[in-house]
């Protein structure tokens, strides 16, 4: 099943703002909501963004996201060492009738 | 508080089958859908399929059609993943998660399946 496209890694120093892109198609991101997940090594993924831009109540507002056309973007402001993790986007694909994920982006805090 | 607690590590031979369970608590089981997602060593997330509990209807990713079966036991609020004809490429961490076409808001701790 076709996946979404993310950059392999993004790096920045503490305090900076980073963005992670997620590119899809009209059958997924273009027509369905996007969610974002944070995964630390050895741990299960955790939902950090749902319905394109909404945050669960326990996720700090340093995390934000948007969607435009067939692409989505996750932004992390005021980057902290504890933000070092793998980040995945996900969306339903209504042609495949399947959930599709991005390949994952490793965030490195320098 | 919602919790998804999965069964433990499995070591299987190629060609055999495996069952992984996911016992849920908190929330109304029949109000939700649940999915299975796997992660091979050093790799990303891959959706195997999901089940809408109140319809008892499961759908699967194309790669897994015919090889994977997802079922649910409403009496114990448990979701099951059965996978047959295992190959070495099925070695992975298998996660259950609450959700299907929408966001996956709660995840199990993962069940390691090694095919060797």
* A3 pLDDT tier (thresholds 50, 70, 90): confident
Report CA-CA distances (Å) from B93 to A60, B4, B41, B112: 28, 15, 8, 4
Number of domains in chain A: 1
| Average pLDDT of span A79-91 | 98
The chain-wide mean pLDDT, for chain A, equals 96
Check which CATH number belongs to the domain holding A19 and give it: 2.60.40.10
> Does any CB of chain B come closer than 8 Å to the CB of residue A3?
yes
Q: Chain B: residue nearest A98 by CA?
A: B61
Contact B77, B22 (CB under 8 A): no
Q: Round to whole Å and give the CA distance between B23 and B107.
A: 11
Which of A1, A44, A51 has its CB closest to that of B95? A44
- Chain B environment of A96 (Cβ under 8 Å): 61-62
Q: Which fold has domain B3-100?
A: Immunoglobulin-like (2.60.40)
Q: Round to whole Å and give the CA distance between B7 and B24.
A: 12
Contact A99 B107 (CB under 8 A): no
Range of the domain at A37: 9-109
% of chain B residues with pLDDT over 90:
99
Domain for residue A37, yes or no?
yes
Report CA-CA distances (Å) from B41 to A98, B8, B72, B91, B93: 22, 17, 27, 8, 8
Contact A47 B103 (CB under 8 A): yes
Contact B100 A104 (CB under 8 A): no
Closest Cα of chain A to B73: distance in Å? 23
Contact A99 B100 (CB under 8 A): yes
Domain coordinates in residue numbering, chain B: 3-100
pLDDT in tens, B62-101: 999 999 999 999 999 999 999 999 999 999 999 999 999 9
- Chain A environment of B97 (Cβ under 8 Å): 45
């Amino acid at each position: 099943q076709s996946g979404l496209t993310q950059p392999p890694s993004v790096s920045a120093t503490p305090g900076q703002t980073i963005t992670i892109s997620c590119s899809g198609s009209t059958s997924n991101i273009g027509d369905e909501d996007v969610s974002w997940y944070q995964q630390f090594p050895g741990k299960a993924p955790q939902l950090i963004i749902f319905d394109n831009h909404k945050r669960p109540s326990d996720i700090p507002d340093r995390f934000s996201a948007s969607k435009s056309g067939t692409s989505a973007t996750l932004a992390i402001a005021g980057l902290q060492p504890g933000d070092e993790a793998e980040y995945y986007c996900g969306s339903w694909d209504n042609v495949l009738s399947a959930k599709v994920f991005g390949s994952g982006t490793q965030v490195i805090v320098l | 508080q919602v919790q998804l607690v999965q069964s433990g590590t499995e070591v299987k031979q190629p060609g055999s089958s495996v069952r992984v369970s996911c016992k849920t608590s908190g929330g109304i089981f029949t109000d939700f859908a649940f999915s299975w997602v796997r992660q091979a060593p050093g790799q990303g997330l891959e959706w195997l399929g999901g089940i809408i509990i109140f319809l008892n209807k499961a759908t699967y990713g194309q790669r897994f059609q015919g090889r994977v079966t997802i079922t649910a036991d409403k009496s114990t609020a448990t979701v099951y993943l059965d996978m047959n004809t295992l190959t070495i490429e099925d070695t992975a961490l298998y996660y259950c998660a609450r959700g299907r076409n929408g966001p996956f808001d709660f995840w199990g701790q993962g069940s390691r399946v090694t095919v060797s």
